[in-house]
Structure 1
Amino acid sequence: MNNSEKGFIPVMLTPFKDNGNVDFDSLGKLTEVYLDAGAKGLFANCLSSEMFELTDEERLEVIKHVIKVTAGKVPVVATGTFGGPVEAQAEFVKKVSDTGTDAVILITGLLADEDEADDAFNERVFRLLDLTPGVPVGFYECPVPYKRLISPEQLQQFVATGRVIYHKDTSLDLEQIKKKLKLTDGYNFGLYDAYMVHAVESLKAGSAGLSCIQGNYFPELIVWLCDNYDKEDLKLEVERVQQFLIENMDVMHNVYPIVSKYFLQKRGLDISTFTRRKVGAFTQTVSSQIETLFKDFDRLQKDLEIRLAL
């Protein structure tokens, strides 16, 4: 995981059975879909995974299952902080690391309250690193419980420890991303952008790749973009893909992740639309919007001759 090789890191869904239990069979099939699509890594136990609705035991079981199915083909990162004293968070970080993850992800909004200064956040990060010697980590600027952004200068400090190898950026700010890339240049570190509105420009600026919810609809399309964003002979096609992602941003975020599970159902994956998160009603209007998205993607995929994973 570094900025020299572009790749897509899916923020993985957690399939559930209709009774609400984790569906490990479907999770295995979904993991294989991501891999077959060309993902360069996997982010398990994240917000798209409904991590806050899982128990600690379920979190660890999900991570272990993904690692088992992946069988070393690509790196796997997974969230390891869920609030409370730093000492308690560190203990769970070690448990997540013991599953075999390549890095344990720290949720920025759970290491300091919203009204606390950056100094308090920095202190807890360094304290957590001290309590988890040798464990590679990364950051996720998760919007829950609130979005705490890391400044370029802060990120430089953390990456300089040699322990931080991954960062999922949700700043939505291309200039901030460019500064983060400049200040962390030369380290074994990868910045992955979540914001598809400037996906192409972020890749051109030097980000390691993309880590976005759009990959839970059509991972092949995000892989294609990572592979072809800078090819002059495909400039028009790249612009078309970028515009497609921009135009469908709201549709893909509405009632998510129910809608992405429904989309994958339509693509042929045996997955229930059940979610534990309360995300709103999956209405006929929402269903119709996803039907249109499915048709538009089908047309785009055929025009670009993208091989589908399912």
Structure 2
Amino acid sequence: MLDETAKGVFTIAATPFLPDGALDFESLDRLVDTYAEKGADGLTILGMMGEAGKLSADESLAVIKRVIGRSPVPIVVGVSAPGLAAMSALAGEAMQAGAKGVMVAPPMGLRTDAQITGYFHNVAEALGDIPFVLQDFPLATGVQISPSVILQIVADCPTCVMLKHEDWPGLEKISTLRKASDAGARRISILCGNGGMYLLEELLRGADGAMTGFGYPEMMRQVIDACHAGELDHARDIFDAYMPMIRYEAQPGMGLAIRKHTLAQRGMIAHPTLRKPGAGLSAAAIAEVDALAARQKRRLNDLGL
């Protein structure tokens, strides 16, 4: 089961589609294999990057079973839903299929600390003994969760074992949470998103790793390993080589299309299709991504990677 000691790289997996929008299971198999080869310690599926909201219930379960049956690393399943009944049902099916935990984001509309705390109390009750990840992504959800609220949820809900940290800016939040755990609060795992944009600083502030879907998942593995080895300058050099692509990927509304283009160019999936509604990249954007990829490759060759 997923627990508070989780660390390293939990890659957020894309969901591959054929050009007509149907699920592409062959690409899904290849993607799972490649994520593991690139150093993933775990995979998170059916998150926002996985276009979970565009899948039917049957499709979601099919993806869950296919990934769990293929993956050599633990799987966390996104189960966020407008209602607790749907969330609980998907979570139960995921765990029965072999998932190690689930991830839950707060629904839009929560505004007060009491509303947020009350919501996650209800989540913990609905999920029972299933361990869950609290996804803190205000850029997407519009829900601002303060460190004190996170600490209250962690204190009240023993099955909350991880924070998916995607606040922006959020480095001070990590520091505040780690100072609290150093002072005696329950320490949970913190894995960070935002496409890896702040990964190095997040690690130095006390994060345990990354949970994001950058199109070059090996970047997280390389940076984390160098950082843990005490080779901070080398970690910075690696990060700097990828930074232009990370920056470009970070464009709101375009990130997933850019990532899927990259995954397709690398042969990890067959098609860069986003399921509708969702647009692809213009010819100009594709040229920009490809130019960044070529320059990135040269810089990595200089580093011997």
- Deviation of 1:298 after TM superposition, in Å, equals 1.6
Conserved in 2, the CA contact under 8 Å of 1:6 and 1:226? no
- Deviation of 1:24 after TM superposition, in Å, equals 0.9
Deviations 1:230-260 (A, max 9, x none): 545x443322233344433342234332222
- Deviation of 1:223 after TM superposition, in Å, equals 0.6
Tell me the TM-score normalised to structure 2 length: 0.87
Partner of 1:189: 188
Gaps of 5+ in 1: none
Instruction: Please provide the CA RMSD for this pair.
Output: 2.4
Conserved in 2, the CA contact under 8 Å of 1:168 and 1:194? yes
Conserved in 1, the CA contact under 8 Å of 2:244 and 2:292? no
Conserved in 2, the CA contact under 8 Å of 1:141 and 1:170? yes
Partner of 1:37: 38
Distance 2:119 2:237 in 1: 43
Secondary structure of the 2:174 match is helix
Distance 1:97 1:2, change over 3 A: closer
Secondary structure of the 1:248 match is helix
Q: Identity of paired residues, percent? A: 21
- Deviation of 1:53 after TM superposition, in Å, equals 0.8
Distance 1:147 1:211, change over 3 A: farther
Partner of 2:263: 264
Partner of 1:236: 233
Distance 1:5 1:90 in 2: 23
Q: 1:92 aligns with which of 67, 90, 93?
A: 90
Conserved in 1, the CA contact under 8 Å of 2:77 and 2:101? yes
- Deviation of 1:194 after TM superposition, in Å, equals 1.3
Deviations 1:253-277 (A, max 9, x none): 3433222222222223342011115
Partner of 2:48: 47
Tell me the TM-score normalised to structure 1 length: 0.86
Distance 1:299 1:277 in 2: 35
Distance 2:282 2:255 in 1: 12
Distance 1:39 1:261 in 2: 18
- Deviation of 1:190 after TM superposition, in Å, equals 1.2
- Deviation of 1:5 after TM superposition, in Å, equals 6.6
- Deviation of 1:198 after TM superposition, in Å, equals 2.6
Distance 1:144 1:79, change over 3 A: farther
Partner of 1:79: 78
- Deviation of 1:287 after TM superposition, in Å, equals 0.8
Conserved in 1, the CA contact under 8 Å of 2:14 and 2:50? yes
- Deviation of 1:88 after TM superposition, in Å, equals 4.1
Conserved in 2, the CA contact under 8 Å of 1:167 and 1:191? yes
Gaps of 5+ in 2: none
Distance 2:43 2:297 in 1: 25
Conserved in 2, the CA contact under 8 Å of 1:138 and 1:167? yes
Conserved in 1, the CA contact under 8 Å of 2:263 and 2:272? no
How many residues are paired up?
A: 297
Distance 1:157 1:30, change over 3 A: same
